[in-house]
Amino acid sequence: MSFPDPIAVFRTEAAELLEQIEAGLLDLNVNLGDKDQVDAVFRGLHTLKGSGAMFGFDALAAFTHHCETAFDRVRKGEVPATQELVTAVLEAKDHMRALVDTPNGDHEATGEALLANLRAAVDGANSPGAASPAKAAPGRSHFKIRFSLPQNAMANGTNPLPLLDELRELGECKIVANRSAIPSLELLAPTDLYISWEVELLTTQPRSAIDDVFIFVMDEMQLDVVTVEPPLAAGTPGKTETASTEAGPAAAPVAPPAPIAPAPVDAKQKKTAENVRVPAEKLDELMDRVGELVIAQSRLSQLAGGSGDLQLRAVSEDVERLSGELRDTMMVLRMVPVTQLFGRFRRLVHDLAHETGKTIELLTEGETTEVDKSVIERLADPLVHLVRNSCDHGLETPEERRAAGKPEAGHILLSARQQAGEVIITIKDDGRGINKERVRAKAESSGLIAPNANLTDQELYQLIFQPGFSTAQTVTNLSGRGVGMDVVKRTIDALRGTINVTSHVGKGSEISLAIPLTLAIIDGLLVRVGDGRYVIPLSAVEECLELPIEEDMRSRGRSFISLRDSLVPFLRLRDLFRTGTKPDPFQKVVVVSTGSERVGLVVDQIIGDHQTVIKGMSKLHHDVATFSGATILGDGDVALILDVGHLVAEGQQQEAHLRAAG
Amino acid sequence: MPASDVKEDCLRLPQNLTVRAITIVQQEMLQFLDKTASATIELDDDCQVDISFIQLLEAARIYADTAGKHIALARPASGSTLDVLKRSGFLEGMSAEDLKFWLHQGGIQ
């Protein structure tokens, strides 16, 4: 059994913390008075600093400390949150990521420059002109604190010394270690902690500041805090000793600054306890095993089916059911919400707005839509290109928007939804739209299309995904070189997805990416065409019909069937694949669809449903558009998986030609 | 090969005296104390120390007391050892015995 590398675990946690910090900063940027976000950012920085120090990332801890201090001052109302401060900490956050990734790198000069920015932002915020709301000078409180950390605290990486240092930072502090529980050397479990502490603290901070020190061990530790005297400034005579023996939250004796409520931390810790962190590659490995199991099960089913042994058949059916359930569970494990994907675009749009001088609002919808994790990972780059393109070329400058009677702020909507085994990711902007004439002129001048070629709008828009195609009149450092959109197309093709573009001049553009929910295993419909077997993704199958020979004869030359008063084009796969075989007397039509477009696929036989473990095509067959992959059948034969999107497009094209021919 | 270096009654401890290495240090210290009636602990000037080591030495003192043995530091605590003693609150309220052991104050050991 192997244990995960603690440094790798820290890096993963640090990446999540940095994402949370970034999200908090971006939310704060929208509403600078949002105290919850100030607290959230502070908590994130505090945790990152503490964890960094714990795992030996000293440079990270030292650097983060400055940002944490800045946010602590905001939290305490000493300085207001400003956009300059948010920007400085956002930039610092990128530096923290570098310190996590390459702790031994040469980061000093960059760090110093960023800290200078941070200081300037804090000083600027603290200037008389930007003074924070007047804050009454609080009096000093006298606390007696007794605490003991969990016995396994040190083994779990909690170092008591930084906690004691933090207590000292709160005010005048006397700390005494209680050694009475330390056993004799032979009885000592050396990584356990037997020491407890008694602390006397004179501070202007509220009780909640003490809770904050222990915020990440609060659930498991013993903490007694006693207020010995009321704040001196309050002038209340007498001694009113207030006991608090709970480790949890306590009422703050001094009003400002508002404390961080410990409740969210409790929730976070509970959530952590309910989840198990698993490295992504382990999931991939498990998925491969499940795939092999599905193939073996398929083989077993065939053997059992051909055998007269009823017991073998019963066992085979059980294995089939269990492997199906295992596959479904596995698929759920791999699904992650697209919010992980969308989250990163907030920063991108924030930075792009800054770079282009535009006011851009990013809206998101359907963030809880779940997609296979490998799809999410591979969608990131294409979406970055599309969002960049929308920001840079799609949206107008504020002046142009005002002149066009539009609101000054441009909008980009990122949305996700599931539709029949696919996830549809849409990037929509309310910018200037795609100029069809300019696209056509560019395509003609570069020889992509013949002059005056008859193209539909969709065909015209698809040209923007050709390598080197750009209609941008100016090349910026963001986009305009025509590099990127072809990468988008290639990536989406590789994901077996499709791109749909709609655009209206002056109103904006919408690019929809339709991607299969999973890339690993699908439910398929196994069919026979001639002597070969093929898989049609079941999620695309609408219905199956019989095609009697006389109907087949009648339809020769038109290839349409009438389906509930609507004509559906169909493709004879036997002809398409040039099998050279005679048609089966009882052919079937499998009606498949992508969205609103439908096409019938004529096959010789429908064999049945089949759990399909998708294997990629070899490089040699990579350009064969009719197939999206292959799978191994139970008897060891290979079946090709039909690319429904391509076949539907081909059917529609056939329909268009026939209609045009009258 | 042991991490520590033994010279007669003197046990020279390794540089890493943190929780990551403390289990080995405990074993070596126990083996050493079993063999000798009077043990002197020698620390490197630039050793890495955390609170687990301070706790270990306190446990060793209890062990030595119970077993009728003597244990001492070769030199008064300094550097990172002294820093940890200060930060962890060990220096506050030290008894005469503690001061003698850790800081060699109040008489020769």
Alpha helices in chain B (DSSP H): 22-35, 51-67, 79-87, 96-103
- 3-state SS of A277-317 is CCCHHHHHHHHHHHHHHHHHHHHHHHHHHCCCCHHHHHHHH
Pairing, β A566-572 against β A560-563: antiparallel
**Record: contact B55-A188, CB cut-off 8 A:** yes
Pick from B19, B29, B92: CB nearest A185: B29
CB < 8 Å to B25, chain A:
190
Based on the fold, state whether residues A472 and A530 are members of the same structural domain.
no
Give pLDDT tens digits for A14-59.
888 888 888 888 888 888 888 888 888 888 888 888 778 777 788 8
Q: Is A577 on the interface with B (CB under 8 A)?
A: no
Within a domain: A256: no
Q: How far is B20 from chain A (nearest CA, A)?
A: 8
Same domain membership, residue A654 and residue A546: yes
**Disruptive mutation site among B11, B18, B22, B62 for chain A (greatest number of A CBs within 10 Å):** B62
Condensed to tens digits (0 to 9), the pLDDT of residues A141-177 reads: 888 999 999 888 888 778 899 889 989 988 888 999 9
Question: Has residue A273 been placed in a domain?
Answer: no
- Two tokens, residue A77: 């109302």
Q: What's the confidence (pLDDT) of residue A315?
A: 92
What is the C-alpha separation between A448 and A427, in angstroms, rounded?
A: 26
Residue A3 burial by Cβ neighbours in a 10 Å radius (0-12, 13-18, 19+): exposed
> Which residues from B are below 8 Å from A183, CB to CB?
59, 62
Asked if B50 contacts B15 with a C-beta cutoff of 8 angstroms, the reply is: no
CA A404 remoteness from chain centre: 35
Closest C-alpha to A213, from A273, A154, A139, A161: A161
Residue A476 shares a structural domain with residue A491: yes
Domain that holds residue A295: 281-330
Summarised one tens digit per residue, pLDDT across range A329-351 is: 887 887 888 887 888 788 888 88
Q: Which residue has the tokens 């095509």?
A: A617
Together in a domain, A314 and A363: no
- A645 with A528, same domain: the answer is yes
Give how far A2 is from chain B: nearest CA, Å.
18
What is the spatial order of strands in the sheet that A521-529 belongs to?
A605-613, A521-529, A532-537, A638-642, A627-632
Mean pLDDT, residues A238-248: 38
Q: Which residue of B has its CA nearest to A182?
A: B59
Taking CA atoms, what residue in B is nearest to A177? B89
Residues A232 and A371 in one domain: no
What is the model's pLDDT at position B1? 41
Q: What is the pLDDT of residues A612-645, one digit of tens each?
A: 877 777 777 777 778 888 888 877 788 999 988 7
For B29-53, b where at least 16 C-beta lie within 10 A, e where not — what string?
A: bbebbeebeebbbebbeebbbbbbb
Closest by Cβ to A185, choosing from B26, B50, B89: B26
- Taking 50 as the threshold, does the pLDDT of residue B79 lie above it? yes
Q: Residue B5, Cβ neighbours under 10 Å: how many?
A: 12
Instruction: Please check whether residues A356 and A472 belong to one and the same domain.
Output: yes
Q: Which fold has domain B5-103?
A: Transcription Regulator spoIIAA (3.30.750)
Residue A627's CB is within 10 A of a number of other CB atoms, namely 17
Q: Are residues A240 and A348 in the same domain?
A: no
User: Do A372 and A517 form a contact (C-beta atoms < 8 A)?
Assistant: yes
Q: What is the pLDDT of residues A468-522, one digit of tens each?
A: 676 555 444 444 444 467 778 888 877 778 899 999 999 999 999 988 776 667 7
Average pLDDT rounded to a whole number, residues B38-64: 93
Question: What is the CATH number for A359?
Answer: 3.30.565.10
Domain assignment present for A417: yes
Mean confidence (pLDDT) of chain A: 80
Per mean pLDDT, which range of A241-255, B19-33, B69-83 is the poorest?
A241-255
Question: Residue A636 and residue A135: Cα distance in Å, rounded?
Answer: 78
The residue among B108, B103, B52 whose CA lies nearest residue A190 is B52
- Tell whether the model's pLDDT for residue A251 goes beyond 70: no
Q: Does the structure show a pLDDT above 80 at A655?
A: no
**Residues in chain A within 8 Å Cβ distance of B59:** 182-185, 187-188
pLDDT in tens, A181-202: 999 999 999 999 999 999 999 8
Q: What is the pLDDT of residue A247?
A: 41
Name the residue with tokens 């389906």. Answer: A563
Asked if the Cβ–Cβ distance from B60 to A185 is below 8 Å, we say: yes
Residue A270 inside a domain? The answer is: no
* Lowest mean pLDDT, pick from A367-376, A422-431, B38-47, B75-84: A367-376
**CATH code for the domain in which residue A118 is found:** 1.20.120.160
Rounded to whole angstroms, the Cα distance separating B109 from B99 reads 11
pLDDT at A137 over 70: no
Q: Under an 8 A CB cutoff, do B23 and A190 touch?
A: yes
Q: Please report the pLDDT score of residue A270 as a whole number.
A: 42
CB-CB neighbors (< 8 A) of A194 in chain B = 55
Are residues A324 and A348 located together in one domain of the fold? no
Closest residue to B51, CB basis, from A175, A188, A195: A195
What confidence score (pLDDT) does residue A274 get? 62
Are A66 and A104 within one domain? yes
Distance from CA of B36 to the nearest CA of A (A): 15
Asked if B55 reaches chain A (Cβ–Cβ under 8 Å), the answer is: yes
In chain B, where the domains are located? 5-103
Residue A266 lies in a domain: no
| Whether the predicted pLDDT of A536 surpasses 90 | yes
Residues A171 and A112 in one domain: no
Measured between CA atoms, the residue of chain B closest to residue A158 is B19
Option in A174, A184, A195 nearest B55 (CB): A195
Counting residues of chain A whose pLDDT is more than 90, the rounded percentage is: 19
Look at A170-174, A262-266, A367-371 and tell me which has the smallest mean pLDDT: A262-266
User: Between B29, B63, B90, which is nearest A177 by CB?
Assistant: B90
Cβ neighbour number for residue A181 with a 10 Å cutoff: 12
Q: Which amino acid is at A223?
A: L
Cα–Cα distance between A428 and A417 in angstroms, integer? 14
Q: Are residues A360 and A308 part of one domain? A: no
Looking from the CA of A636 toward its CB, the CA atoms found within 13 Å total 1
pLDDT band at A402 (very low <50, low <70, confident <90, very high): very high
What is the distance in angstroms between the Cα of B37 and the nearest Cα belonging to chain A? Answer: 15
Nearest CA in chain B to A187: B59
Task: Quick: pLDDT tens for A565-582.
Answer: 777 888 889 888 888 888
Interface contact A179, partner B, CB < 8 A = yes
Q: How many domains does chain A have?
A: 5
Nearest CA in chain A to B57: A185
Residue A51 near residue A99 (C-beta atoms within 8 A) = no
Token pair listed for A463: 């040209």
